[in-house]
Structure 1
């Protein structure tokens, strides 16, 4: 009987602890959301195993707070012994996408070599880092790249992208522009590129900058990456 009573006590204590955690996380969400500015939406609040911090997911990013939601901690949580970046790992996990669900018909397809290695990239024609990435890609072979023209940087980005999309060879026209600054001829009025659809897709996926590279396993890298880093990333994929 004493054993049974003790076991019931343990179960009730565990249940109470779980309920308290849920209450705390719900309270933190209620407190913190209005403090993050108009339009900010907290997607989840989770207690972390380090330093009593609570992880807040907001607009595809991660910030931290304490149990009373008095302070915000903006930055990365890194293990001082192993230098493991816990924040980076969590961001990669929450921003992972299913590559097969991407609407690749909205992208410009470019194939190099056997094309076995596949990436999708969100790019803007006025993006300097995207142009740097294209120079890097000249060192990389056996690649299929789907370019989503994500026009977010300049008022004329849409017009440049339209001219390229509507050209006879969009892949070549995009490469000519990104590598050599050679503009495509003006598009016919009857051509309708999928700008609005790509913009909605990027916003849904919380793509906030260009280039953003999506790999076959659904992971992403925001920003340009050099050839060595790209090959190392490919080496980690199954």
Structure 2
């Protein structure tokens, strides 16, 4: 039999590649169609992709992850754990989806506290009436060689907005913030002429990145941590982020 010419071999290879991709495309179309038809109130699907498990597909809704079969007959909510590496693949995917480019954050709108050399950097979204924020702030005091940028994020009501305004307009906002959160010292009332537009921008920033609660931290590598995680864990995350 006469060997195929190079153009024919290339065409055959392309056809085989396309044929291999067709089932995945068909599965995605079936998943989108069936979920939309069967669940009219189902949120908009941003992405459908294969998982390492044959026949199981990831359905991404913003930064939320669900799983389904190739026909959208079943939905699964939970984590996929790789037992070999002991890795939570679902959480790793969410971390990637929710990562923030640290370099793009508008740090001019944050209250700044420099401790030691300030070489390491940490961003915190905090509400002045948030109890967990106060607990976190007490742990942050002990961190060494870090600059902490706190975006005042008043989401717990009008009093949070008023206190955030007073902190932002203080002569030394960092001192006012820490005094309020750690020592319970009420900052002086803001003057009527103080520019508090940064607070509005902070709220929009938090909404953009889906910061749904406080405290929330962002490390230099873009990874996030919701809630008041222990000080030792913060230190570990800071060290890891600096090496990245």
TM over 0.5: yes
Pair 1:13–1:153, CA change in 2 (3 A): farther
**From 212, 216, 224, the counterpart of 2:216:** 212
Task: Tell me the residue number matched to 1:199.
Answer: 203
Q: Is the 8 A contact 1:109 1:144 kept in 2?
A: yes
Runs of 4+ in 1 over 3 A off after TM superposition: 1-11, 29-38
| 1:8 CA displacement | 5.3
Q: Compared with structure 1, are the counterparts of its residues 212 and 2 closer, same or farther at alpha carbon in structure 2 (3 Å cutoff)?
A: farther
When the two structures are aligned, how many residues end up with a matched partner? 237
CA distance in structure 1 between the partners assigned to 2:102 and 2:147 by the alignment: 13
Greater Cα shift, 72-81 or 136-145: 72-81
Rounded Cα–Cα distance in structure 2 between residues aligned with 1:123 and 1:199: 11
Q: TM-score, normalised by structure 1?
A: 0.88
State the Cα distance separating 1:37 from its structure 2 match.
Answer: 4.0
Q: Which residue number in structure 2 is paired with residue 236 of structure 1?
A: 240
Question: 1:162 maps to what in 2?
Answer: 165
1:1-238 equivalences in 2 (<5 Å): 4=4, 11-32=14-35, 35=39, 37=41, 40-193=43-196, 194-237=198-241, 238=243
Q: Deviations over 1:194-236 (max 9, x none)?
A: 2221111111112222111111111111222212112211232
Q: Which runs of 5+ in 1 are unaligned?
A: none
1:29-72, CA deviations, whole angstroms, 9 ceiling, x for partnerless residues?
3544683847x333212111125222122232222222222222
Structure ID, larger Rg: 2
Report the aligned-residue RMSD. Answer: 2.4
Hey, what's the Cα distance between the residues in 1 that align with 2:44 and 2:14? 35
1:23 CA displacement = 3.5
Deviations 1:115-172 (A, max 9, x none): 0010111111122221111111122111101111122233422111111111111111
Change (3 A) 1:227 1:19: same
How far the C-alpha of 1:2 sits from its partner, in A, is 7.5
The answer to which of 93-102 and 106-115 deviates more is 93-102
Change (3 A) 1:17 1:141: same
The SS at the match of 1:206 is coil
**8 A Cα contact 2:30 2:70, kept in partner:** no
Determine the C-alpha separation between the residues in 1 that align with 2:36 and 2:153.
29
Structure 2 unmatched ranges of 5 or more: none
